[in-house]
Amino acid sequence: MTAVTESRVRPRAHAPAPSGVRTATRRQSVALLGQLAAGAGNLVVSVLLARVLLPGEYAELTAFLAGYVLLHTVASSVTAATALDPDLHGRLRDRAAMAGLAVTVAGVLATPLLSDALGLSPAFVLLLAWSAPSATLLALARGRLYGLGRAGGTAAALVTEPLVRGAVGLALAPVLGPVGAAAGVVAAGYLSLLVALLAGRGADAATVRTGHARTSAAVTVAFLLVAVMAAQDVIVANRLLAGDEAGFVAAVATIGGAAYFATATIPMVLLPSGGDTSSRGSLLVALGAATAVSLALVAVVALVPASLYAQVLGERYAEVGPYATGYVAAMAALGVAKVLAARLCMTGRSPVAAALAGLAVVVQLALLLQAGDVADVVRATAAASGLFLVTCAAATVLVPVRTPVVARSATDVVPSRPVTEPADEPEQTAPSAHRRPHRTLGDRLRDGWPLLVALVVGTVLRLMVTRSIWLDEAISIRQVQQPIGTMLVDLRENDVHPPGFNLLLWAVVQLTGSTSELVVRLPSLTAGVALIAVFWAMGRDLWDRRTGVVAALVVAVAPVAVWYAQEARMYSLWMLATTVALWMQVRILRDVRDGGRGRWRDWTVFVLSSTALVYLQWFAVLPVLVQHALFLACLFRADLRRLAPRWIVSGLVSLALFAPLVPFLLAQARSVMSASSTTPGQTGVGASEVVSDSPDVYAVLANTIWSLWGYHADELMVQASALWPVLLLLCLAALGRGRSIPVGVLVAAAVVPVVVLFGIGFERRQLFELRYFTSTVPVLLLLVSRLVATWARGPVSRLVLPGVVVVSLLAGLADQQVNQSNPRTYDFRGAVSWVERTAEPGDLMLYAPAFLEDELAYYSAGIRAESTASLEPGTPGMGLPRTLGDDDSIFVFASFLDEQGTSAQVGQTLAQLEQQGWTRAETHEVANVTVWQLTHDKEVAQ
């Protein structure tokens, strides 16, 4: 029996191990054939759908495919890391599934916004959202197949997509049109995922993990940057070049994409082959395959006649040939460079590969921004691809090899020992204290469902916008429609804010090509939703899970947090950056208290978030100074002085990052000093000026109530502010229940900026207003959340107290959003819509005050609009356009009538118009806006 067993397990003497080159060639060939077959199949399906669908419908499908491919291209960056370490599939699968579901939920909720931004119908956006879970899961599953050396399974998963896309899409397209074809694409992704999972069954026990998270992250970043290099030229060209030139770039990129995708599998098959010298044969095979395929494609494209380009792409692209050849050559170079980058990753040099890819991306972007035509775009991409190829080749030779990061599969050859030698006993090791237990998807859902609820509720509330674009928003929208250089000059000479928010909004507007309300408010909306997740994580990290749950629910429904998430200004981002900076400071101080110096990661995030604060708002300097003052105070305690070196480094780095703002600060200094007297505030003043024109305790309480329960009518605010003694006693009682580093830091961050602005308010009353100490809002919400989480002791009160707080915030939110007596609600949109419906061509709209110009440029009524300040009261006709006929109307559009100067100006204009023979025909009033329609009275005019 023993002899029989030995004969089965002992390798035969005359059967050598398979050649590494032969195995590599076989795997590369099978995977490459699968990739080419998939590409050919997708091409055939596209041609058939083009014949089934109408031209406009096929254009819609093409736009959907662009978004789908972009989503899967970004997700596929993890394929390389998983090919290098197949065990990543098991470790990241649940997280990827949850992330995909989160993207789906967010996409479904934001369908109106995304539909407008992407130019897709809601049905296509919903399909894109539902395809999100398959993107990362498919990338992980394919990477695992590469890592296991299962080339046949890889090819099967690749070929599944065009087969299912053709079967489902062609069946549904005649019935549902392009939506049916898009549904076939999504179904193909999920079925390809199923095939990949089935092809990888039974291999978990055969893999040995030898990588680590940092290496995997570097590999992912490297291949993600390569994908950016292959795609950003089309995006930039579409924004910068004229229509015809941008079309040429799109056509060239379509052809060149064949070279990029044709070699996509080659580096993936190479990655798991190992980093020792025996893998050089696999490297040579991969380089040979990539070079051969690339040269073949370059030759084919170079030989294609112009008539074929005209036949396939259209007559206007008949001369695209020379550009296509150069672009395909650039993509070919990028394909070969990817193989060398894979070699760097598999030999422990993935950070080098990521850095070189990042350098190439930056160089390409810099050249693209200067491009004037399609030839410049091709040269920029060729230069970046060539640079990446040369630097990767040099790094492969010159950079020392580190410990290879390999995931060995069951097919790898392992030296065997004689069967008579007993096996070693497995080493008994204690479980690592730092290793987290494996958590299933169900465990994560049970733990994180309150966060999901808070995110869904918070997102829905922030999308339910009930008010118009505000004056400051209209100014920002006008500014970001300018070229970036012109915008920066405008900001420096005519504005009173740092350039950070405008630069972000400029990028959003330029990328989307839209200035709709949803698009321009997207940065604030995103920051507002992100703040919910940050509150959840911060509460759990600094205190406990209960505090995190309460904090997430509180900020999800907090009226002011919702308000500023719906405004295209910097305040929502200010709250987010403030919260992150305070969180990092508490983490640093906690680590210092425990004997450390603060982790460099926490210091880095602290510096970046505090820098972002100053780039968003000059008044954010106050909380930043408070935080550094707290660090300085720690130096007076001997047990905390160890933080000094890293604090000094963080301060110097912060100063270096602040340096570009100095010219803006100096140029705007005079404007900042006068802005408070010329720019209207968006707040009612009645509640905060109960006693005098100087700030008092009622002004403090009014702003405190605003920061928690939102903006309301002045009468309500006066009554609520009268309760300040009770609120003060409650605050003192709350603070007396215990002291801790988090509470101390948060209290200082909440109180000191308010005290400083309180003092400044005696000189300039208008500066003591909530929006100028927005950083206090998240601090107060966190303190209230902690208070609610700790005060309740019994099982009933632990549910009732948070419920009461959330309900009270929801009541405040409802009143803030709906109550038309809210002093911050200005229905410019509704008033202009009424004028647009009522007016006829040739009518005139006069508006007051003059600073409504940007507002009425955004909400255009379709008729001529002039400021009442442009009239000439003492002259015949008052300087009105002579084109006004007897049948025309004049609309007087007025707001801020509570200001004496504006009210007098509007009254004078109406009186003078009546003297000129115009009579009031109709008055239309909405929140804080009044419009009078005047028609010509012929008898008075005579």
Average confidence (pLDDT) over 419-435: 41
Confidence check: pLDDT of 711 > 60: no
Q: Could you tell me the sign of the dihedral formed by the alpha carbons of 649, 650, 654, 657, in that order?
A: positive
Average confidence (pLDDT) over 669-685: 52
At residue 868, what is the residue type?
T
Contacts 24+ apart (CB under 8 A), 243-246: 244/316, 245/373, 245/374
Average confidence (pLDDT) over 715-729: 41
- Give me the percent of the chain exceeding a pLDDT of 70: 74
In angstroms, the first-to-last Cα distance of the chain is 126
Confidence check: pLDDT of 443 > 70: no
> Where are the alpha helices (H) located in 696-775, listed in sequence order?
697-709, 714-721, 724-735, 741-761
pLDDT digits (tens, 9 = 90+) for 319-330: 666 777 788 888
Q: Which of 183, 208, 233 is the last residue of a domain?
A: 208
Give the tokens for residue 761.
Answer: 């308010």
- Give me the percent of the chain exceeding a pLDDT of 90: 21
Q: Say if residue 45 is in the same domain as residue 160.
A: yes
d(CA 922, CA 889): 11
Q: What is the pLDDT of residue 568?
A: 93
How far CA 556 is from CA of 61, 535, 672, in Å, comes to 36, 10, 33
Q: Say if residue 739 is in the same domain as residue 868.
A: no
- Whether 464 is covered by a domain: the verdict is yes
Average confidence (pLDDT) over 546-559: 93
Q: Say if residue 233 is in the same domain as residue 96.
A: no
d(CA 181, CA 190): 15
Q: What is the pLDDT of residue 314?
A: 56
Q: Say if residue 239 is in the same domain as residue 175.
A: no
Q: What is the pLDDT of residue 440?
A: 57
Cβ neighbours of residue 166 closer than 8 Å, sequence gap 6 or more: 41, 44, 45, 48, 184
pLDDT category, 690, cuts 50, 70, 90? very low
- Whether 466 is covered by a domain: the verdict is yes
324 or 805: which carries more pLDDT confidence?
Answer: 805
- Whether 440 is covered by a domain: the verdict is no
At residue 199, what is the residue type?
A
762 or 861: which carries more pLDDT confidence?
Answer: 861
Average confidence (pLDDT) over 29-41: 79
**Total length of the chain:** 942
**Phi, psi dihedrals of residue 163, rounded to the nearest 5°:** -65, -50
Confidence check: pLDDT of 418 > 80: no
pLDDT digits (tens, 9 = 90+) for 458-490: 998 998 877 899 899 999 999 999 998 899 888
pLDDT digits (tens, 9 = 90+) for 4-16: 333 333 343 333 3
d(CA 330, CA 335): 9
- Whether 164 is covered by a domain: the verdict is yes
Give the tokens for residue 523.
Answer: 């940065």
Angle between the N-to-C axes of helices 111-118 and 522-542, in degrees from 0 to 180, rounded to the nearest 10: 140
Q: Say if residue 219 is in the same domain as residue 204.
A: no
Q: Say if residue 363 is in the same domain as residue 376.
A: yes
How far CA 140 is from CA of 129, 144, 150, 224, 242, in Å, comes to 19, 6, 14, 14, 39
- Whether 2 is covered by a domain: the verdict is no
d(CA 618, CA 621): 6
Q: What is the pLDDT of residue 670?
A: 65
Average confidence (pLDDT) over 348-374: 84
Q: What is the pLDDT of residue 381?
A: 86
Confidence check: pLDDT of 339 > 80: yes
Lowest mean pLDDT across 166-170, 380-384, 750-754, 843-847? 750-754
Q: What is the pLDDT of residue 939?
A: 52
877 neighbors 916 (Cβ within 8 angstroms): yes
- Number of domains composing the chain: 4
Q: What is the pLDDT of residue 268?
A: 78
Q: Which of 381, 409, 437 is the last residue of a domain?
A: 409
Q: Say if residue 625 is in the same domain as residue 657.
A: yes
Contacts 24+ apart (CB under 8 A), 22-29: 23/149, 23/411, 24/269, 24/270, 24/273, 24/281, 24/282, 24/285, 24/286, 25/285, 26/151, 27/149, 27/151, 27/269, 28/151, 28/265, 28/266, 28/269, 28/270, 28/285, 28/286, 28/289
Confidence check: pLDDT of 432 > 50: no
- Whether 435 is covered by a domain: the verdict is no
Confidence check: pLDDT of 26 > 50: yes
d(CA 381, CA 361): 9
260 or 476: which carries more pLDDT confidence?
Answer: 476
Lowest mean pLDDT across 37-41, 185-189, 583-587? 37-41
Range of the domain at 238: 210-409
Q: What is the pLDDT of residue 441?
A: 54
Q: Say if residue 697 is in the same domain as residue 599.
A: yes
pLDDT category, 590, cuts 50, 70, 90? very high
pLDDT category, 763, cuts 50, 70, 90? low
Give the tokens for residue 103.
Answer: 């993207």
Confidence check: pLDDT of 578 > 90: yes
Confidence check: pLDDT of 787 > 90: no
pLDDT category, 713, cuts 50, 70, 90? very low
CA-nearest of 255, 230, 376 to 309 is 255
In the DSSP assignment, the letter for residue 552 is H
Confidence check: pLDDT of 445 > 80: no
734 or 164: which carries more pLDDT confidence?
Answer: 164
Secondary structure (3-state) at 409: coil
Q: What is the pLDDT of residue 893?
A: 96
Q: Say if residue 183 is in the same domain as residue 58.
A: yes
344 neighbors 328 (Cβ within 8 angstroms): no
Rounded mean pLDDT of the chain?
77
Q: Which of 167, 183, 208 is the last residue of a domain?
A: 208
Average confidence (pLDDT) over 597-620: 92
Q: Say if residue 852 is in the same domain as residue 813.
A: no
- Whether 475 is covered by a domain: the verdict is yes
**Phi, psi dihedrals of residue 930, rounded to the nearest 5°:** -130, 135
- Whether 699 is covered by a domain: the verdict is yes
> Where are the alpha helices (H) located in 421-544, listed in sequence order?
441-463, 471-480, 484-494, 500-512, 517-520, 522-542
74 neighbors 223 (Cβ within 8 angstroms): no
Average confidence (pLDDT) over 340-350: 84
d(CA 359, CA 343): 18
> Where are the alpha helices (H) located in 821-930, listed in sequence order?
828-838, 853-858, 900-915
Confidence check: pLDDT of 144 > 80: yes
d(CA 158, CA 168): 16
Residue 184, judged by CB atoms within 10 A of its CB (0-12, 13-18, 19+), counts as buried
pLDDT digits (tens, 9 = 90+) for 45-59: 776 776 677 766 766
d(CA 528, CA 573): 7
Q: What is the pLDDT of residue 284?
A: 81
Q: Say if residue 256 is in the same domain as residue 175.
A: no
Q: Say if residue 793 is in the same domain as residue 842.
A: no
CA-nearest of 834, 938, 827, 813 to 892 is 834
Lowest mean pLDDT across 254-258, 451-455, 617-621? 254-258
How many Å is the maximal CA-CA distance in the chain?
A: 126
Task: Specify the residue for token string 């789906």.
Answer: 104
Does 16 sit behind a cis peptide bond, omega within 30 degrees of 0 on the bond before it? no
Confidence check: pLDDT of 401 > 90: no
